[in-house]
Structure 1
Amino acid sequence: MTAIEDTAEQLPDDPATPARLLWRNRDYTGWWIAGTISEFGTALSTVAFPLLILAVTGSAARAGFVGSAEGIGALATMLLGGALADRFSRRTILITGPLTQALVVSTVVAAVATGHVNIAHLTAVGFIQGAVGGLAGGAGFAALRRVVPASQLPTAFAQYQGRMMAIRLAGPTSGGFLFALARWVPFLGDAISFLVGALGVVLIRTPLGPDPDERKPGEPVITSIRAGFDFIRGNAYLRFLTTWVALANASIAGMFLLVIVLVRNQHGSSTVVGAVTSLGAVGGLAGSLFSSRIARRIPGRRLVMAVSWLTALGSVGIALVPWPWAIGALLAAMMFLIGPINVVFETYEARMIPDALMGRVSSAINFSAASIRWLGPLAAGYLAATIGSTAATLVIASVLTAIAVSTHIARGLHVLNEPVDQIRTDA
C-alpha cells in the first residue's frame, strides 16, 4: 500500500459532502486559491502579449510568435519535468518555477514601462514561461495526489475544471481592460500572481515527496523518462487514455478554429464570433459544476462511450446548422460533456499510477496529448481552404466518430467498470 492510500484512509470519507470535506483541507484550499490567482494572472498576460505586439508592430504574424514559443518551450521540457518530479523535491520545483516566471515576466513590465519593447525579448520570455511550466507540470499533478484524499479526487478534478473554464471566460476580458489602462499593468498582475502561486506551495504542510527511499539520483534522465513510457505501454487503460486524449485534443482544437470560420461564413460579426466561442467556455463551466456528481453516478466506461458519441454527433450538428447561435449552443453542449469525462480519466489515472512514477507517467501522457494538438488547427485550416468549412468540420466529425467506435473495442477501457475506490496502485 502506498503512502497516498494511507493518507486517504485516515481522512473522513463522506460521499454526500465531498466538496465540503475538501474545502476543510487547509493545504488544498490554500493551494487552490493561490493557483487560481496564478492562473488568472497568466490569462491576463496571454491576451496582453499579442495586444502589445500588435500595438508595437501591427503584425499579426509576429503576434503569434510568443504563443508558439511558449508551446514549444513546454514541449521541450515536459518529459524532463516529469523525471525531475520523481527524483527531486516537488515542493522545491513548485516554488522555484513560479518565482522564475515572476522574474521573467517582470522584465516585460520594465520593457513596456520604459518603452523598450523588443520582439526577440518577448519571444524569449514566452519560451522560458513555457519551459518552466513544462518542468513544473509533473510535480503539480503528483503533489495534488499527496494533498487530496483519494476519495475526494473526483471533486478536486471537477473544481479544477471549473476554475479553468471560469478563468477562460473572465481572463481575456480582464486582460484587455487592464491593457487599455496601461500596457504594463497586466504583466505586473501576472508577475504578482506567480509570487502568490509560490506562496501557496510554501504554506502546504503535507509532505509532497518523493520520499528519500523513492529517489534515484544516479539513474540517467533518459532511463527515468523511459520508465514513464514503459509503464504506459504495460497498462492497457493508460495506452487507451494517451491515444484518446491526443486525438480528441487535436480534433477539438481544430473544431474551435472551424467554429470561427463557420460563424464568419454565416455573416457573423466579430462580436458574434466572440460570443459564440464564449458559449463554449460557459458550457464547460456548467459541466464542471456537475461533473463530479455525473462521474460518481454513471459507470466510467458507459460515460466515456456516451460522451464520445455525443461529441461526434455534436460536431456533425455544428457543420450543418445554419445559425451562429445554434453553433454556439452545440459547442456549449460539447464542452459541458468534456468536464465529466476529464474527471473520470484523471481520477483513474491518479489512482492507478504509483507515486514514485506519477511525475513521469503524467508528463508522458500530457506530452503525447500536446505533441499533436497543433495538427488540429493546421489540418482544419487547410481543409477549410481546400474543401470548405462545412466539409472540413465533417472530416473532424469523422475522426471523433472513429474515437467513439474505439471505446467499444478498447480492452483497457474495461477497468472503468470497477469503482474508482477499488483501484489500487502497484507500488
Structure 2
Amino acid sequence: MSDALRNREFRALWIAEAQSVLGDHLTTVALSIMVYNRTGSALWAAVVYALTFLPALAGGLGLAQIADRYPRKAVLVISSATQALLVGGMAIPGMPLAPLCALVVLARLAGAPANAAQNALTREIFTDELYLRSQDLRGITANIAMLAGFGGGGLLVTSLGPSWALALDAASFVVAAALVQLCVRARPAAGDPGDGWFTAVRWVWGQRRLRVLLALSWLVGLAVIPEGLAAPLADQIGASPQAVGWLLAADPVGFILGTFVLSRFVSAENRRRVMGLLATAAAAVLVGFALTPTLPFALLLLMLAGAAGAYIITVGATFITWVPNELRGGAGGVYRTGLRVAQGVGVALGGVVADLVGSATTTIALAGAAGVVLTIPVAVSWSRVRRTTP
C-alpha cells in the first residue's frame, strides 16, 4: 500500500477523503446531540440521523453521473466547496430545525458526485495492480476514520460544542478542495454530456458479470445485522452497557486486519479467486451466535466476520475495473447505492426478526445461516464468470 501512496495525485485524494470521512462521522454525532438537546425528542434525533443517509441513496443513482459528464477534478473541487458552505451553515448557532434538516439533505446530495468522481479518478491514476492496493488503503482508512469519528466524536462535541464540531467539518472540506485543486492533474470529461442520464445504469444491468458482483456486494446486508442489534446483544449475553461500543468496533477492526492480510500476502488474481469463499465464510461465522457466546467469544466471531468481509474491497475494485472509463461515475453510483440499501434493509430486517423471535443471538445466527444459503449460488456464479472473463 505504501507504493500507492508514493503517487502524488492519489496521496492528495486519499488525505482529502480521509478527513472528509472523519468529518462526516463527527457531523453525525454533532447533529444527533444538537437536535436532541434542542428538542428533547429521540424521534427528531433519529430523523436527522436518517437524513444523513437517505440523500446519498438518491444521489448515488442520479447525481453520480455528473462525474462522467464533467471533468472529475472539477467535480471534486466544486462538490467539496459546496459541502463546506452547507456544513458551515449548519454550524451557525441557533439555526432553526427545518433549515438545518434542509442543509443536511443538500450537503449529502452534494457529496454523491464527489464519491463517484473519487472512485473513477483513482482508477484513471492507477492502471495496474496498485489500484487494488489503493482501494485497500482507502478501505482501512475509512474504517479507522469511522472508529475515530464515532469513538471520539462524542468527546469532541461535548468539549467544543456541536457548532464548533460542525465548523471543523466545514473546514475539512475546504482543505479537501484545496488539496485536489493543487495536486491532482486536470483531465477532460470521460463521458459525453449528451449521453442519456441513466446510460450507466442500463449498461450495468445488461452485464451478467457485473450483476454477479452486485449480488456479492449486497450480501453485506446480512453481515451488518449484528451492528443494529449491538445493544440487545450485549444485554442478552450478560455484558455491561460499555460493551456495546466494543461490539460495534469488533467488525471494523476485523475488517482492517483482514484487508491488511489480503493486501500484503495475496495477489490480485488470487483475491478474485477466493471472493466467493470469503463471502460464504463471513456469513458462516455468524452461525456461531446460536451458542449464545460469552462477550470475548462474541467479539472474536464479529472480528472474524469482519476480516472475511474484507472481500468487498476486491468486489468493488473489480466492478470499477470492468466498467468503461466513460461510465465509471454512474456505474459506481449504482454500486454504492445498492450497497447502502442492502445495509439499511439488513439492519431493519434484523430488528424485525429480533422482535419476533425475542433473541438477538438467534437472529444473528439466522442471518448467518441465510447468508450461507444465499451466498453459495452467488459464489458458484462468480466462479463461472471469472473463468470466462478475460
Number of equivalences: 388
Distance 1:297 1:192 in 2: 37
Equivalent residue number for residue 224 of structure 1: 197
Equivalent residue number for residue 174 of structure 2: 195
Equivalent residue number for residue 77 of structure 1: 59
From 150, 153, 169, the counterpart of 2:128: 150
Amino acid at match of 2:180: V
Q: What whole-Å deviation, never above 9, does each CA across 1:21-52 have from its counterpart, x for those lacking one?
A: 32221111122122222221222112111112
Distance 2:290 2:142 in 1: 27
Equivalent residue number for residue 242 of structure 1: 214
Change (3 A) 1:32 1:71: same
From 165, 172, 184, the counterpart of 2:143: 165
Amino acid at match of 2:328: M
From 19, 22, 27, the counterpart of 1:37: 19
Q: In the TM superposition, what are the counterparts of 1:125-136 in structure 2 within 5 Å?
A: 125-136=103-114
Distance 2:339 2:372 in 1: 18
Q: In the TM superposition, what are the counterparts of 1:13-412 in structure 2 within 5 Å?
A: 19-111=1-93, 116-183=94-161, 184-211=163-190, 214-215=191-192, 217-219=193-195, 223-225=196-198, 227-246=199-218, 248-296=219-267, 299-339=270-310, 341-388=311-358, 389-410=360-381, 412=382
Contact 1:232-1:238 within 8 A present in 2 as well: yes
Distance 1:320 1:59 in 2: 37
Change (3 A) 1:218 1:305: closer
Q: What whole-Å deviation, never above 9, does each CA across 1:119-177 have from its counterpart, x for those lacking one?
A: 32332222112211223222221111122232201110110111011112211232212
Q: What whole-Å deviation, never above 9, does each CA across 1:164-198 have from its counterpart, x for those lacking one?
A: 11112211232212212221221111011111111
CA deviation after TM superposition for structure 1 residue 298, in Å: 6.7
Contact 2:57-2:341 within 8 A present in 1 as well: yes
CA deviation after TM superposition for structure 1 residue 417, in Å: 4.9
CA deviation after TM superposition for structure 1 residue 97, in Å: 1.0
TM-score if structure 2 supplies the norm length?
0.92
Amino acid at match of 2:78: T
Change (3 A) 1:297 1:139: closer
* Structure 1, unaligned runs of 5 or more: 1-18
Distance 1:299 1:372 in 2: 26
CA deviation after TM superposition for structure 1 residue 231, in Å: 2.1
Distance 1:161 1:375 in 2: 22
CA deviation after TM superposition for structure 1 residue 295, in Å: 4.2
CA-based RMSD: 2.1
148-157 or 253-262, which deviates more: 253-262
Residue 242 of structure 2 aligns to a residue whose secondary structure is helix
4+ residue segments displaced more than 4 Å: none
Distance 1:362 1:148 in 2: 17
Change (3 A) 1:86 1:387: same
Change (3 A) 1:347 1:108: closer
State, as a whole percentage, how many aligned pairs show the same letter.
Answer: 23
TM-score if structure 1 supplies the norm length?
0.85
Residue 110 of structure 1 aligns to a residue whose secondary structure is coil
Amino acid at match of 1:63: A
Change (3 A) 1:25 1:321: same
Distance 1:361 1:206 in 2: 23
